[in-house]
Amino acid sequence: MKLLNSTARRSAAVLAGALLMSSLTACGGGTQAATAVNKDTLTIAVDSDSASFGFDPLRVADAQRQFFEGLYENLMTLQPDGSVGPGLAKEFSYSADNTVLTLTLKEGVIFTDGATLDAALVKANLDRRSDPALSAYSAIAKGGAQEITSVSVVSPTQVAIKFAKPQPGFEKNLASTMGMVVGKSGVADTASLGKTPDGSGPYTLDPSTVKGNKYVMVKNDKNADAADYAYKKITFSVIQDPQARANALVSGQADVAMLTSPTVDFAKSKGLGVSQIGGTLHTMVSFDKTGKTAPAFASEKVRQAFQFAINRQSLVDALHKGDIAAWNALPKDSAGFTDELNTKFAYDPAKAKSLLAEAGYGNGFEFTIVGSAETQTDLQAVQKDLAAVGIKMNIKMASSTDEAFAAVATTPLGYAALGWDNPVGLMYGVVLNGFTNVQKASDEQLTAATGEAAAAKDDAAKKTALTKLNTRLVESGWMIPLYESLTNQGYNTKKVQQVKFAGSNAYPLLSSYAPAS
Amino acid sequence: MALFITKRLLMALATVLVVAVLAFLLVHAMPGSPGAVSLGAGASREAIDEVNGRLGWNDPLLSQFFRWLGDAVQGNLGTSLIDGRSVSADLGNRLPVTASLAAGATVLSAILGIGLGVSAAVRGGLVDRIVGGICGLAVALPAFWIGIIFVYLFAVQSSVFPATGYVPFEVSPQDWGMSLALPVITLAVGGAAFIARQTRASMLEALQQEHIRTLRATATPTWKILYIHALRYASLPIVAGIALQFIGLFGGSVIAEQLFAMPGLGQAVQTSVSTHDAPAVQGVVVIATVVVVAVNLVLELATKFLDPKLRAS
């Protein structure tokens, strides 16, 4: 049927032309926008909601330190070299028995609610430690590994923190979200922090913020250290999809982006800079060391058998190209890292079988692990290795977050990504007394090594203690490390100077970002 | 006509009410409680009970529902359990994003789909086969894959459009259009193919009608025959298809919002479901239902207007 005459064809051509014109108009704008360089603003693409619980810094873990560093100040601050220096507390001192820490506070610090910093405010903050929602305070709450028994005001600028037991080196914790100080109004009405931050940080939250999508901060002129921050405006853009994050960096929507290892080569091929640092260990964690949920896990030999049974290099080659296979519980840049573990627990299925036989499980055994969408493929790779030595690992996908959390008490083995910036804090807060040891197992060597690390006065002592700790974590099978993932910060070299990490901390200081010259 | 509209409005209200009840019951059937959600994993039983008591979680279900319904009717969908934000205000900010996406994709798919469908039906032969092939391919390709390819071509390789993000219209109309371009095109591809097939079939039927033959015999201009008479005859299933596209795109915007990091309802659903934020989940369900019901209502009225037989009845 040939009904389309010349008039109809002309109509179609006009329509097509209009569409093309609109596209071209749009194209022109896009090119211009993409090439414009604004040195006053910085957009950081991050992988998760920076303020999923609102703007109370004490509700989040240290992974959100970078974001909250803009809005709040710490009692102690993380320095560019990874050490800890003065912050809102300009000086500190310990009692002779290390049970009391006295902080001397800076003066003239103003919060967004207009209040000023004093000892009473620091006490009011720390007195919130009984609130179970404040995860940053879990270690200092009653029964916590670093329990604070009381906080007292010595003078308007001095506050004394009393611990249940000696805590030398505790001040390092105050550089994490635990040490962030909320203003008077925020402490009095904590619900208000859900929507509005109340800090004294170098930036304040801009109303153009869109919850869960982008968080916009503008320079806080009332902050004395604001001049140390190069950008007038910083936007945290939440882009969960890793490829979309890399695309945003390549196409100029972001200046800095957290990249996953598989997208690093792509970013580099587009001429972008990538700074990398290790530090996050993806580790199987023995939740049950007593045999309550699976009798076999009470045996150290069984837990050791896991170390020999898993082909870590194969797992990394297949699923985590660019990351590092790990036989150490601590990261390779840690003082406690030792090459000995790499050879001592090298892949050896025969050795694994022999250990199982010695433990009375020559015919193998069966257990269930709870997985998630993120861990499923790793667990399937491990499942295959374990099956080869006679261990049947059933993978049950968690149907809810509650079920995933409950697994620490109902299943013998879990899988977690652990950051080891603060090994002592992690050991006390998570491994020895925290959620990965619900069955209350104990190990004298681990407790002793942790204590030694906490009390270490110099680098040599620290190295010795951490090496002992690392070695024992692996030998005891409390930790079954699989691989160390690299934290990758991609950056637009035309706009941002090379991104530098603060020591081994995986999240650069906001003050470390600077425009390219 | 007034009676027809009144009846349909009442039906629409009943539908929204039923969905609201279902959403309310499903949220209550979920494991956990508002106290457990807002206080987190380490909370004590006493603290959880205290929050639950304050929120009226232990009141009879009927009383809780009517309290929620009363507030919802006044535009108050409650507050987030996670950070205390107003659910209504949050969804109010997100609705324009998803609506822009869905409306833009619907309009684009309608333009392309009708154009391709009419061409295939009218030209026949090779054009028909090419259009058929393209439509088959477009329907088969998943939207997220199309999105990835478009981003690679037009954002990564050539920087023509932004790869991610959303700029509100009031901030910059041009940037608003730019930020919508790739997600809208991504969503429109499948829809255009669907509408093109629908249009082709309807047009072929229309062109066989006697009144079209009469119009040709009376030397009526071809464009008039095609775009006024035949297309109007064929429009009923096409309009229905377009409306269904809008509904599907409105509900299916999650993928585009995820891929392009857009702050729409899909992103809100994802966040609120993963954090067990019951008031937010309920709010999104109700808002989405109201939109779908409203579109259906408009569709019915449009159908009534377009079809003389229905109009007469």
How far apart, in whole angstroms, are the C-alpha atoms of residue B263 and residue B94?
Answer: 6
pLDDT for residue A235: 96
**Backbone φ, ψ for residue A463 (5° rounding):** -65, -45
Per-residue confidence (pLDDT) for residue A372, from 0 to 100: 84
The residue type of A411 is T
CA distance B114 to B130: 15
Weakly modelled stretches of chain B, pLDDT under 70: 39-44, 308-313
What angle do the packed helices B278-306 and B87-123 form, to 10 degrees? 40
Residues B295, B298, B299, B305, Cα dihedral to 10°: -170
Interchain proximity B222–A7, CB inside 8 Å:
yes
- Of how many residues is chain B composed? 313
Distance from CA of A15 to the nearest CA of B (A): 9
A238 contacts in chain B (CB < 8 Å):
261
What CA–CA distance (Å, rounded) separates B90 from A211? 8
**What is the ipTM metric for this complex?**
0.71
Residue contact B226–A237, C-beta within 8 A: no
Burial B40-68 (b: 16+ CB within 10 A, else e): bebbeeebbbebbeebebeeeeeebbeeb
Cα gap A204→A215, rounded to integer Å: 10
Distance CA B52, CA B47 (A): 9
Chain B closest-CA separation from residue A232 CA (Å)? 19
Contact check, Cβ <8 Å, A402/B38 = no
In the beta sheet, which residues pair with residue A370? Answer: A396
- Taking an 8 Å cut-off on Cβ atoms, the answer to whether A243 and B148 are in contact is yes
Q: One-letter amino acid identity for A109? A: V
Do residue A248 and residue B123 have CB atoms under 8 angstroms apart? no
Distance (Å) from the C-alpha of residue B206 to the closest C-alpha of chain A?
Answer: 13
In the numeric block, the tokens 């200092």 are attached to: A140
Residues of A in contact with B165 (CB under 8 A): 214, 237, 248, 253
Collect all residues of chain A within an 8 Å Cβ-Cβ radius of residue B268: 212
- The per-residue pLDDT for range A399-409, each reduced to its tens digit, is 766 677 788 88
- A55: which chain B residues are within 8 Å (Cβ-Cβ)? 83
Residue pointed to by tokens 């297949």: A318
pLDDT in tens, A168-219: 889 989 999 999 999 999 999 888 888 899 999 999 999 989 888 899 999 9
Question: Which H or E run contains A214?
Answer: strand A214-219
What end-to-end distance do the CA atoms of chain B give, in Å?
A: 10
- Cross-chain Cβ contact B119/A12 below 8 Å: yes
Q: Which of B44, B54, B83 to mutate to test the interface with A (most CBs of A within 10 A)?
A: B83
Q: Decide if A8 and B41 are in contact by the 8 Å CB cutoff.
A: no
pTM: 0.74
Band of pLDDT at residue A110, cut at 50, 70 and 90? very high
Name the residue type at position A217: M
Q: Do B84 and A195 touch (CB under 8 A)?
A: yes
Compute how many other C-beta atoms are within 10 angstroms of the C-beta atom of residue B248. Answer: 18
Closest residue of A to B269, CA-based?
A212
DSSP character at residue B34? H
All residues of chain A having their beta carbon less than 8 Å from the beta carbon of residue B151 are 244, 247, 251
- Who's near A221: CB < 8 A, 6+ residues apart? none
CA distance B283 to B276: 13
A45 vs B contacts (CB less than 8 Å)? 164
A139, closest residue in chain B (CA to CA): B42
pLDDT at residue B42 in the model: 56
Nearest to B93 among A19, A26, A210 (CB): A210
What pLDDT does residue A462 have?
93
Cβ-nearest to B115 among A15, A212, A251? A15
Put simply, the answer to whether A251 touches B124 (Cβ < 8 Å) is no
For residue range A245-289, what is the model confidence (pLDDT) as tens digits?
999 999 889 999 999 888 898 999 999 999 998 888 999 999 999
pLDDT tier, A31 (very low <50, low <70, confident <90, very high otherwise):
very low
Pick the residue of B223, B257, B260, B274 with the most A CBs within 10 A to test the interface with A by mutation.
B223
Q: Tokens 């619980």 appear where?
A: A53
Interface size, chain A vs chain B, as Cβ–Cβ contacts under 8 Å: 173
Higher local confidence (pLDDT), A351 or B67 = A351
Sign of CA pseudo-dihedral A297, A303, A305, A311: positive
